[in-house]
Amino acid sequence: MYRIVNKKSLNPTVTLMDIEAPLVAKKAEAGQFIILRVDDEGERIPLTVAGFDRDAGTVRIIFQIVGATTAKLNAKSAGEYISDFAGPLGLATELEGLSEVCIVGGGVGCAIALPIAEKLHRMGCKVTSVIGFRNKDLLILEDEFRAVSDELYVMTDDGSYGREGNVCVPLLEMFGGGKKFDKVITIGPLIMMKFVVEATRPTGIPCVVSMNPIMIDGTGMCGGCRLTLNVDGKRVTKFACVDGPDFNGYEVDFDEAMSRGRMYADFERHAYESTCNLFKKEAR
């Protein structure tokens, strides 16, 4: 059992938790993920590590309430326990030898991007961060990004906060002005990452994406997290759990990934609604 040390609501649909898991905290690095179960009857879900404190033995997760399991997890309070918290899994983000990097985060993907920006900052790298949200109410982690970024662009689709537009707006402005980076790292919705990759492609700057497809065991055995990459004219299958979650964005078949990601949308919505109705009955 793993104790929830701290819980905080970042916006109406996104929650932060610090989980007491000293063995995971001892090994975790930016870019890796864990798989948890809320209870013994629950499903396994992957969540990227959003931070860790090796001394305190805690690992931070930030999740969006989108399905039954995240709804059940959000119903837990600080001091309560979850059944399983396995990790760290996947490969850490490669950051060595970089002197200037652009981090592009969208929505809850900013929670994954933040520890990468923090590590780059500690390494003395110049960090330019672009974070985007649909509107002001969904904004998260602005202060945390500002603390580790040499430049920060905050974008909202409706212009209710920061600048109006998507994350590609300042990115294209910087490229148009001749700005160069050692690497662009983007994390967020698939459609956002696809367009960031296409905006970066003409520059030839390496562009890394963090993929979070359907996943079950996290060890490469189930094949649920498979991705198709176009490598040197050949289509190659990789597994996000063991080969990633970071990949060369220029090689990822985003259209296939988006199609596979929508396969269980109706089931997920039904499970979420059933869970919410159960909580309402228990509260009566």
Q: Give the amino acid at 244.
A: G
Give the pLDDT of residue 270: 59
Q: Which residue intervals of 150-237 are DSSP H helices? A: 168-176, 190-200
SS3 (DSSP) at 201:
helix
Give the pLDDT of residue 266: 66
Listed as own residue / partner, the contacts of 74-77 with beta carbons closer than 8 Å and 24 or more positions apart are 74/15, 75/279, 76/4, 76/7, 76/17, 76/38, 77/4, 77/7
What CA–CA distance (Å, rounded) separates 129 from 154? 8
Give the pLDDT of residue 85: 96
Token representation of residue 13: 């649909």
What CA–CA distance (Å, rounded) separates 163 from 167? 10
What CA–CA distance (Å, rounded) separates 139 from 154? 9
Rg (CA), the chain: 19
Q: Is the separation of the CB atoms in 257 and 227 below 8 Å?
A: yes
Give the pLDDT of residue 212: 86
- The domains located in the chain, with CATH, are 2-89 (2.40.30.10), 100-261 (3.40.50.80)
Give the pLDDT of residue 163: 95
Which helix (DSSP H) or strand (DSSP E) does residue 84 occupy? strand 84-89
Work out the end-to-end distance of the chain between its first and last CA atoms, rounded to an integer number of angstroms: 29
What CA–CA distance (Å, rounded) separates 12 from 9? 7
SS3 (DSSP) at 253:
coil
> Cis peptide leading into 88, omega within 30 of 0?
yes
Give the pLDDT of residue 41: 87
Give the pLDDT of residue 283: 54
Walk along the chain (284 residues) in steps of 10 and give the mean pLDDT of each run.
95 95 96 94 91 96 91 95 94 94 96 94 97 96 96 97 96 96 96 96 96 83 88 92 94 90 64 55 55
User: Most distant CA pair in the chain: distance in Å?
Assistant: 61
